[in-house]
A and B are shown apart, each in its own frame.
Chain A
Amino acid sequence: MSSEYATSIPREEAQEPAARRSWRTLAIQLLGPLTIVGGVVWAVAQPYRIVLLDRAGQGIYDYLFQAPLLVVLVGLAFTFCIAPGLVDDLEAEELRGTEA
């Protein structure tokens, strides 16, 4: 048989293992979203805690500081202000540890 047509079966190239995130990175990335989910679940479970849904007899502070929304706000602050830099530094540290 002509080897022009019968070529060898292409060997599957060994693939680089996908870069796995460490449990530390995952934990940091999950802290904020879990907090946000906690606030949302609380708001759904107790909608009367949200003043916008139950306005009778409420003052300015009731509008500004609604407990479930404060939880969501803290979660958002952590997710967008703290976690990204922390994950970057952690990954850089782990990379340095791998190379060493």
Chain B
Amino acid sequence: MVPKPETAHWIAAAVALFIGLLLLSEAIVGTDVFRRRAWRAYLFPAVVVASSVGLWIITILSTFSTMHLLAHALWAQAALLAGAVELAVVRGKLKSPAWSLVPGCALLISGLAFLVHEPNPWLYSRSAFLHHAIGWMLVAFALIPFAQALRPRQVVWRAGFALTFLLLAVLLFADRDAAPIFGRYGLGGGP
């Protein structure tokens, strides 16, 4: 009853899409309006913490490869840490904008884990291509929370953080376990 990797990736994509929409709506209306209702303020960190629990379950099921097991464990820890810090920020326990560095580090570590645990080159298959693309995208977009720590009031950084999750969702939704990179146009391995 273990789901296929592509199914797990689509579920993760749906969560990333929801988080992306939440963050984008917060960037549009502003943090003050968004956090006017307590449940809405706690929604993003709660979803991140819940997704870390899901990642731990995937970690348990990833016994087929040590690298996959370590990578999923790393993502689960990074998500748990980022969610916990965001929870404390929303609660008012942590006030410094420098705490934005924690999600930045989580993105950076996640991106590196994507790159390290993919043994095949870019054009081997769609899955390999997407692992490389997601890895580099997360490494690059990890700079956004760092910029957010320096200039927390800039809307562009909040929108950029939301865009990170929307792009992640698109790439994860494109994942197939066995497929050439660009579907019927070929290129790359796969059946």
Contacts and interface: CB of A to CB of B under 8 A. Distances in A.
Contacts of B17: 35, 70-71, 74
Contacts of B28: 24, 27-28
B14 interface: yes
- Chain A facing B: main interface SS: helix
B7 interface: yes
B29 A24 contact: yes
Interface string B13-52: 1100110011011001100111011001000000000000
Interface string A30-53: 011001000000000000000000
In the complex, which range does the number of interface residues on chain B fall in?
A: 20 to 34
Contacts of A28: 25, 28-29
Nearest to A85: B37
Contacts of B173: 67, 70-71
Given A31-B25, A61-B4, A86-B29, A70 B40 contact: no
Contacts of B29: 24, 28, 86, 89-90
A93 interface: yes
A83 B10 CA distance: 24
B34 A70 contact: no
Contact of A93 (B10, B22, B33, B40): B33
Contacts of B34: 86
Interface of B: 1, 3-4, 7, 10-11, 13-14, 17-18, 21-22, 24-25, 28-29, 32-34, 36-37, 40, 173
Contacts of B1: 60
Interface string A48-85: 00000000000011100101001101100110001101
Contact of A70 (B3, B14, B33): B14
A26 B25 CA distance: 11
B7 A61 contact: yes
A56 to B, nearest CB: 15
A48 to B, nearest CB: 11
Given A86-B33, A90-B33, A65 B10 contact: yes
